[in-house]
Amino acid sequence: MPKKIKKDKNIPVLLIEDIPQIGNRGEIKKVRRGFALYLLRKGQAIIITPENKDKIDKLVRVSEEKLAKKQKELEELKEKIEKLSFNTSIRVGAHGEVYSSVTKLHIKKFLESYNIFVDKEDIALAEPIKIPGEHIVEINLGLNIKANLKIIVEEEKVA
């Protein structure tokens, strides 16, 4: 009796969107047949066949070129941010009590004044800055590129 040849239960797909725990847009992944059909119906993936392999290779190439361009733009933005210095002041009372602070919103507005637009969530500031001095705040630009913004906080005495 001849041995049965096992059919591969996993089939290759090209991801059209980022799918958590599976992969990112433009990646080719092997997934179970049923899941591949589910992704196909939702428009999140293309099943790779010999007929559409050339088309998919072209899509992947274009996607990689766009990604490289985006990464270059973010690197340039990082350099621009790291050349900046945000000079500001906080109000401090006669006995050392702090009346103001530097928040994510202040940093966001400072960057916007230089036509750099980021979400507040991308600014790594756990607590508002209430201490005078020099501070470095990390800003997530995407694609694992992070910029460090120098913030110089001075005291403004309030009577």
In 3-state terms the chain splits into helix, strand, coil percentages (rounded to 5) of: 35, 35, 35
Instruction: Indicate the domain borders of the chain.
Output: 10-72, 78-157
Record the pTM.
Answer: 0.69
CA distances 36 to 25, 43, 58, Å, are 15, 10, 21
| CATH superfamily of the domain spanning 10-72 | Ribosomal protein L9, N-terminal domain (3.40.5.10)
| CATH code at 78-157 | 3.10.430.100
pLDDT along the chain (159 residues), means of 10: 62 88 86 92 89 80 87 96 95 87 96 95 94 95 93 89
